Amino acid sequence: MRKLKNSLLWAFAASFCTTIAVAQSQESLNTDRPDQSEGVYTLPKGQFQVENGFVFSKEESTDNLMLRYGLITNTEIRLETNFDVKTPDFSSTIFSVKQRLWESERYLPSVSLIGYGQYSKTDLKKYSFDACLAFESSLSEQLSLAYSLSSVQQFEGYNFTTELNYIPTSKFWGFVEYYATYQPHYAPLHNINAGIAYFIKPNFQIDLSGGHTLFQEEANYFLEVGMGYLFN
């Protein structure tokens, strides 16, 4: 019990400290949370961003932390950890590189490529390398469509996501998303979720989302709360 309390305290403290460690900036941020789709946006060179969220479901409670850094123009590097609150232990660590390939032009979508290297304690393969192609198309000033296709378990299966984003004001944005996982020897996993984000400051976002599985005898619901902060 003491170990669990210490781990929870560490996770919350880390999240809190990232929001107050530096002075507030007026630079806006663009996060890859709380949805499942990978965004096409890459951080400008030299910028650092923290994204953190807690996911609660019937089967698990997880703290997901992502650190992002703009390495050069159109290229960012990222480090992501998933901390299992119930164990408590780190279930996986992922290093990734995101490269912007194409900027949206007329009817063509923006495109980014992400490469992953992952260590996982829970998957059959402890170490794996995968990739993702992410797309985003602007439908209007307030609506956009994001979609991505990524491999899983060393290209043995794949994830598909599609998401509709709505940005009514500079303070709010919301989304509705469908995503699925296809792997050999397993039935496909279908999910739907939705969420909103609010900008306390241009560089500080808080968010709330939730969803559940589809086409299952017993749906698994989940709720996620989180934040994003851009350092300059």
* CATH number of the domain where residue 218 is located: 2.40.160.40
pLDDT tens for each residue of 111-142: 999 999 999 887 777 899 999 999 999 999 99
Phi, psi of 2 (to 5 degrees): -60, -40
CB within 8 Å of 131: residues ≥ 6 apart: 113, 114, 115, 116, 150, 151
**Would you state the structure tokens that stand for residue 123, as one six-digit string?**
């998957």
CB within 8 Å of 102: residues ≥ 6 apart: 108, 109, 110, 111
- What is the rounded end-to-end Cα distance, in angstroms, of the chain? 39
pTM equals 0.85
pLDDT tens for each residue of 149-194: 999 989 999 999 999 999 999 999 999 999 999 998 889 999 999 9
CB contact at 8 A, 136 and 143? no
Q: What 3-state class would DSSP assign to 24?
A: coil
What is the count of structural domains for the chain? 1
* CA dihedral of 13, 14, 15, 21, whole degrees rounded to 10: 100
* Mean confidence (pLDDT) of the chain: 88
Cα separation of 114 and 100, whole Å? 9
pLDDT tens for each residue of 7-66: 443 444 444 344 333 333 346 799 999 999 999 999 999 999 999 999 999 888 999 999
Q: Largest alpha-carbon pair distance within the chain?
A: 57
Cα separation of 36 and 147, whole Å? 10
CB contact at 8 A, 180 and 160? yes
Token pair 């998933």 is found at 82
**Would you state the structure tokens that stand for residue 164, as one six-digit string?**
């509709």
Residue-range definition of the domain harbouring residue 48:
2-231
